[in-house]
Chains A and B, each alone.
Chain A
Amino acid sequence: QVQLQESGPGLVKPSGTLSLTCAVSGGSISSTNWWIWVRQPPGKGLEWIGEIYQGGRTNYNPSVMGRVTMSPDKSKNQFSLKLTSVTAADTAVYYCAHSATWSAGMDVWGQGTTVTVSS
């Protein structure tokens, strides 16, 4: 069973870069699965940020396009999220997740990590 664990700074300054990593255990980042980032602003709903699949191909939400990069690290069996030019609107709990297909939603979720954008 795949397990996921997010890590990264909990506080990022406005206009800075948010960088998070998701460590994968019980499965390989190189497998034919989808590796996903979802976020949840305080007290609000879920937003799909984007996904990595087929070892490095990506799909991103247009809401963050131009600011977001997702990439795999096969040597460490993990994948990462970078979001540049952050503002207070990027404050959220960030979840990494796994899906066995491109369409059926996330069947495994990490515990989530809170990122606050503040000076």
Chain B
Amino acid sequence: DVVMTQSPLSLPVTLGQPASISCRSSQSLVYSDGNTYLNWFQQRPGQSPRRLIYMVSNRDSGVPDRFSGSGSGTDFTLEISRVEAEDVGVYYCMQGTYWPHTFGQGTKLEIK
């Protein structure tokens, strides 16, 4: 299985400040069609996960533009330009290139 490794696992952030989460895969996520299938999810406390970003950098409908994704190959980043209170929760990366699809361990974002 492809191992997805996130860092940090805990991320205390001051309101209004930026935040960055790293996700690394144990092998390249570039598929034979040239696309890279790395997705990001947010899970707020007590809620189901919600997809934020698909294929590295495409924001889902309704996701604030303060969220952005970047990266290539094996190294990826989710950035929040200015953290708001509603961003508290756990963030997961997930690779869709290989079966079984696998998630990172999760990064818990909290407000300082």
Contact = CB atoms under 8 A, between A and B. Distances in A.
B76 interface: no
Contacts, number: 61
Contact of A45 (B48, B99, B100, B103): B103
B27 to A, nearest CB: 15
Interface residues of A, number: 22
B89 interface: no
A37 to B, nearest CB: 11
A62 B100 contact: yes
Nearest to A4: B48
A104 B48 contact: no
B5 to A, nearest CB: 12
B55 to A, nearest CB: 6
Contact of A46 (B31, B50, B92): B92
Mostly, the B contact residues are loop
A109 B49 contact: yes
Interface residues of B, number: 27
Nearest to A102: B96
Contact of B103 (A46, A50, A110): A46
B39 A104 contact: yes
Interface in B33-68: 35, 37, 39, 41, 43, 48-51, 54-55, 60
B100 A48 contact: yes
B22 interface: no
A8 interface: no
Interface of B: 1, 31, 35, 37, 39, 41, 43, 48-51, 54-55, 60, 90, 92, 94, 96-97, 99-106
Given A45-B104, A48-B100, A107-B51, 13 more contacts: A46-B49, A46-B92, A60-B100, A61-B100, A62-B1, A63-B100, A103-B31, A103-B35, A104-B96, A105-B96, A107-B54, A110-B48, A111-B48
5 contacts: A45-B103, A46-B41, A46-B92, A104-B54, A106-B49
